[in-house]
A and B are shown apart, each in its own frame.
Chain A
Amino acid sequence: MYDVCIIGAGVVGSSVARALSKYQLTMVVVEKEADVCEETSKANSGIVHSGYDAHPGSMKAKMNVRGSKMMESFCRDLDIPYHRNGSLVLAFSPEDLPRLEALRKQGYENGVEGLRVLNREEVLAMEPNLNDTVAGALYAPTGGIVDPFKLTIAQAEVAALNGTEFRFETKVIDIEKIGEGFKIFTDKGELTAKVVVNAAGVYADDINNQLSARKLKITPRKGEYCLFDKEVGNLVSHTVFQLPTALGKGVLVTPTPDGNLLVGPSANDIIDKEDNSTTAEGLSSIVAKARQSVKSIPMGFVITAFAGLRATEAGGDFVIGEADDVPGFFNAAGIESPGLTSAPVIGDDLAAMIAQKLRLKEKTTYVSKRKDVVRFESLSVEEKASLIRENPDYGKIVCRCELVTVAQIKDAIHRPLGAKTLDGIKRRTRAGAGRCQGGFCAPRVIEILSKELHLDPREVAKFNPNSVLLVEFDKDSL
């Protein structure tokens, strides 16, 4: 019997695993997809919110502000791209200016530092490409941007380095309470654990409702985005929001830590928890809304569009902690925005609760840091030269857009919880994330994956075994 079983290897599950892995215990993370960071964690705004949005006293408000404050040092320790670029919330009419002030007050109450309401001239001086119709803005200097893939992957790697077992392509079908723990039925067999952590994202209600009488209802709220070429990555330097609406924080325009420009998200409640397709309506709506914020959106520079599903719980707040009626069953449910910002502290808090429950002792061998795959493109020429001398694989370019080398691809494959798919390589190295979207590097990455993992190229997939890229020649039909 495992001490702990975590369901879901998104940013929340990975964070709980990371935080618990400093204790002496046996732990398994069960994930239905083939890699970490395959659902909501991979398709969001990548924003470290400063914390003015959430209602004072809510779990969202508390977790957000704590998350925002610890994110910089957290990312430094785990070698994750993070940049505190500051956020702006725009108002477009004088009537809306009091709402900025209300937001500022709410932020102050939540403990957010440095909030200021700016007048039109101040805003335009900070962001010259904003629309002239802007009337004022709330400035949050503590807002930031983070690589959401790396925030997930890095935490999962730390968990793995400290002995956590990960089972991928393993879907939980049912859970039963048994004596001192739980029996978890998956499509790959059963396992037992003393404690279960529900970090199942949009499926967290299904998991909870199998055990607890306190029912949850999670509605997937689709958010669609357009990602733009680095060429226009400096259209804005801050994360630019509009005044929030009932459905969320509205459409933002932001640089990403890698220098792209991101526009989105839409907000549409849907039924199908697997439907992360983009829609013509969604994409055109975000562009229309973004055009309110900035003078023009360079649509010719879109490099990809994507959609993610927010796990919106009916109660409107995060559901974090042990279920009242099911001892040993811990929820991390309804983790929508500001979920990414909050994930590290959600992990810390749940780990502390579980450690107390199971009376866990800390390890003496805990490894708290990890090094990311080298970001070759950002190095100076001297640093590049010296790396190639150390390892000639750094002299072989695989991805021309993001300047990714063979050495980085191999590192991504062979590190703990290494990449097994094209998407796995992309999120760990950025090969394929650039302007040609893998047109150049995909054949080369397939070759390296097949060689390093001893796979036939026809077995190499985009993200799971059903998403293979190549088939055999077949002339029988001729």
Chain B
Amino acid sequence: MMKRDIVIIGGGPAGLAAAISCFENGNRDILILERETYLGGILNQCIHNGFGLHTFKEELTGPEYAGRYVDKVRDLGIDYRLDTMVIDINQEKVVSAINEKDGLLQIQAKAVILAMGCRERSRGALNIPGYRPAGIFSAGTAQRYVNIEGYMPGKQVVILGSGDIGLIMARRMTLEGAKVKMVCEIMPYSGGLKRNIVQCLDDYGIPLKLNHTVTKIFGKERVTGVNVSEVDPATRMPIPGTEEYVACDTLLLSVGLIPENELSRKAHVKINPKTQGPEVDESLSTSIPGIFAAGNVLHVHDLVDFVSQEAALAGKFAVKYIAGLSQDGSAVAVEPQNGVRYSVPSRIHPGNAEDITVIRFRTDNVYRDVFLSVYLDEERVMHLKKRILTPGEMEQVNIPKKWITDRPGLSRIRILVEKE
């Protein structure tokens, strides 16, 4: 059996940043396993710009952003295997993978970093009635057809869901000659970034229909149209009599991303039901010591810059773990409350934490003119005025280690939305 200090599952932005960080923190015995024929992950099909504003202070396309990390991995001589699918990880950190050349590859790792990214929710989860014709695609699959394979999925398009990929594809397909008739969003707000709504819909005159959903699919062989209905914002149920037939040959679904944790479950890593990703502490360590997680496999991010930051931290802590320098001790719980749907991490070991621990989270609804508060037990230590908080935009707060170490006996850090 092959032995490696650090095995990284996935060679997308999280895996690449984690690998570089491991190397720079002093451990060079690294192996990245990537199932595609190239490194860079999903960024390779994200040919639009807007990546890297935080990291590089410039606007890059997805492949350019990935390219910077890929070049660095190659320059540092970090080992990776392509076309290699990991099929199992166990609690002893034995990683099993297969590829054409090596056949079965079994690697005993000292630390594993999960960086598998996420996948798109499919039509099934929505249970839209109607036929099951050709012409229904998830937005990311459509993006692959257009940007990688060089084919269009169709010409008359309705998009259901206003996630960022759906918004990006509305613009992309318009630019390639398709007519995007509308984007329907069942919620009263978009799940995507404001800048994408402006740049991808408004600039092209594509209507965004909030509180609307697709209630029926027509066409037995290829999609011929859909019924779009208004929903009651309270129940999210279609309002009878509001359905409108929209002729189209393509329905794109951009209805949510789910962290891809099949492998994490095989290793019996504890999964947070809200994020669908592993529960982690300040070091991005999962419930199994030595197994770390970062990026979209942990929770779905809006911006790749934060994926890279998070993964670099996981890499740093993985190196520390292997060196035997992790200090667990007692932990303080991080609790999302009133208006905050989830937070990552879910606990902080002050003995192990960096000077600042970044807590990332999303709200459960749109809130206007509110305060974002942090409480240490009952003591309010942060009270930030927010003009708007929306589930489509990830928020973060910085927790200084000193806050915790100054308060012996502190049991929890609470993050919540307050009216005043």
**Which A residues are within 8 Å of any B CB, using their own CB?**
226-227, 274, 276-280, 282-283, 299-300, 302-306, 381-382, 384-385, 388-389, 392-397, 400, 403, 435-440, 442-443, 446-447, 457-458, 461-464, 466-478
Contacts and interface: CB of A to CB of B under 8 A. Distances in A.
Given A280-B216, A384-B104, A469-B153, 9 more contacts: A276-B131, A304-B132, A305-B124, A381-B106, A403-B85, A443-B144, A466-B221, A467-B133, A469-B134
A454 B175 CA distance: 30
A259 B274 CA distance: 25
Contact of B123 (A304, A384, A458, A463): A304
Contacts of A447: 149
A458 B152 CA distance: 9
Given A279-B129, A393-B100, A400-B85, A472 B124 contact: no
Contacts of B220: 274, 276-277
Contacts of A436: 119-120, 122
Contact of B85 (A283, A304, A381, A397): A397
Contacts of B133: 462, 467
A278 B130 contact: yes
- What range describes how many residues of B lie at the interface? 35 or more
With a 10 A CB-CB cut-off, give which of A226, A299, A384, A443 has the most chain B CB atoms: A443
Contacts of A468: 134, 222
A82 to B, nearest CB: 25
A423 to B, nearest CB: 9
A242 to B, nearest CB: 22
Contacts of B135: 469
22 contacts: A277-B220, A278-B130, A299-B127, A303-B122, A381-B96, A381-B106, A382-B104, A393-B100, A395-B100, A403-B85, A435-B122, A438-B141, A439-B138, A440-B119, A442-B141, A443-B144, A443-B148, A447-B149, A462-B133, A470-B145, A471-B151, A473-B152
A478 B177 CA distance: 6
A462 B96 contact: no
B384 interface: no
B318 to A, nearest CB: 25
The listed residue with most B CB atoms (<10 A of its CB), out of A283, A447, A470, A478, is: A470
Contacts of A462: 133-134, 221
Interface in B128-178: 129-135, 138, 140-141, 144-145, 148-155, 176-177
A40 to B, nearest CB: 15
A254 to B, nearest CB: 18
Given A388-B103, A469-B134, A475-B176, A437 B123 contact: yes
A231 to B, nearest CB: 8
B29 interface: no
Given A392-B101, A471-B151, A473-B176, A302 B127 contact: yes
Contacts of B150: 473
A302 B124 contact: yes
Nearest to B152: A471
A303 B132 CA distance: 13
